[in-house]
Amino acid sequence: MSELTEQLEAEERELRFADFSLEDAWVLGSRMRAAAEEAGLPVAIGIQLGEQRVFHTALPGSSSDNDQWLARKTRVALRYGNASLAVGESFRDRGRDFDADSRLDPSRYAAHGGVVPLRLKSGTVIGVVGVSGLPQLEDHAFVVQHLRAFLAGRDAG
C-alpha cells in the first residue's frame, strides 16, 4: 500500500458529517469559490447530493473541459464510494491502470484526483464535492482543505 493510499484512507475516516443539507452545499461551495477566486485558480467547482447537482461554479481560466473532467471524476467517486484519487491509486497499488482495467468507458469515468465523497458518520455516501482545473493532487488537496475547514467550523459552533 502506498503512502498516498494510507493518507487517502485516513482522510476517508476523518471527513465525515453528522448531516449535510442543501444550505451546507451552498455555504461550502461559496467558500470554495471565494478561496479559488482569491488565489486566482482556474477551476470549476461542483457539489452533488445523490444524482442532483446542487452547486456548480466556474472561475476565469476554466473551460467546459473542466466541467467534463469534473463529471467524469464525479461518476468514479459515486460509483466506488471513494475519492476519485483513491480509486486511481488503488488500481496503481495493484499494478493496474484504471482506464484499461476498470472495464468502464474512459470518456465517462476518470480516476483522477479532485472529487471527494460527502460521507456521513455511518459511512454512507450521500454525495460528492469536487474541483477540476489544477493538477490532480492539487485538485484533491483543495477539496480536502475546504472539507476540513467546513467541519472544523461546525465543530467549533
Cell of 156: 467549533
What is the reported pTM? 0.95
- 72-131 residue pLDDT tens: 999 999 999 999 999 999 999 999 999 999 999 999 999 999 999 999 999 999 999 999
d(CA 115, CA 120): 16
DSSP state for residue 44 in the 8-state scheme = E
| pLDDT for residue 65 | 98
Kindly provide the b/e burial profile for residues 43-77, where b requires at least 16 CB atoms within 10 angstroms of the residue's own CB. Answer: bbbbbbbeeeebbebbbeebeeebbebbbbbbbbb
pLDDT band at 156 (very low <50, low <70, confident <90, very high): low
- Range of the structural domain that residue 113 is part of: 3-156
**Overall domain count for the chain:** 1
The CATH number given to whatever domain includes residue 108 is 3.30.450.150
CB 5 within 8 A of CB 86: yes
What is the pLDDT averaged over residues 24-32? 98
- 85-101 residue pLDDT tens: 999 999 999 999 999 99
